[in-house]
Amino acid sequence: MSQFNAFVQKEFYHIFRDKRTLLIILGMPIVQMLLFGFAMNMEVTHIRTAVFDPSPDQSTTQITRRIEANPYFDVVGQVHSEEEVNNLMRQGAIDLAVIYESGFHRNIVHSGEAQIQFIADASDPNRGTVATNYVTGILAGY
């Protein structure tokens, strides 16, 4: 054990004696933390969103307005078919599609339930997951 302690003392002596080695040992982790701190921004903003509403009504309009009012979403417009949603997604023009079922308000009134489908661009899984969670949070208060 005393040989190991002597070895460690010798290495510390050499490290503190050589300024370049000391700079590398202390400076590199600091530089990496700073660079990765700015590069690894997990906040997702400006989510380009398209809305497909086959039967517009007061409920879907209200929900769409909530999404539009949220600063994380940029609603690029209303689309008129699911095929248009798929084309926009393939082109990379949107990050998220919100698709209401036909008769959304009628279903809420009669059964208390209605469905909304979210299609997120999974080319960036983190962005897709966060976008879906954001819009789910908006709907939680509805």
| pLDDT one-digit tens code per residue, 6-48 | 999 998 888 889 889 889 999 999 999 988 887 777 788 999 9
Show me where the domains of the chain are located: 2-39, 47-140
Burial of 94 (0-12, 13-18, 19+ CB in 10 A): buried
Instruction: Say which CATH topology domain 47-140 has.
Output: abc type-2 transporter like fold (3.40.1710)
Average pLDDT of the residues of the chain: 92
Contact, 132 vs 120, CB < 8 A? yes
- The answer to whether residues 55 and 102 touch, using CB atoms and an 8 Å cutoff, is yes
In this prediction, residue 1 carries a pLDDT of 82
User: Is the CB of residue 131 less than 8 Å from the CB of residue 96?
Assistant: yes
Return the pLDDT at 38.
77
Q: What's the residue count for the chain?
A: 142
Task: Tell me which DSSP letter residue 132 carries.
Answer: H
Are the C-beta atoms of 60 and 105 separated by less than 8 Å? yes
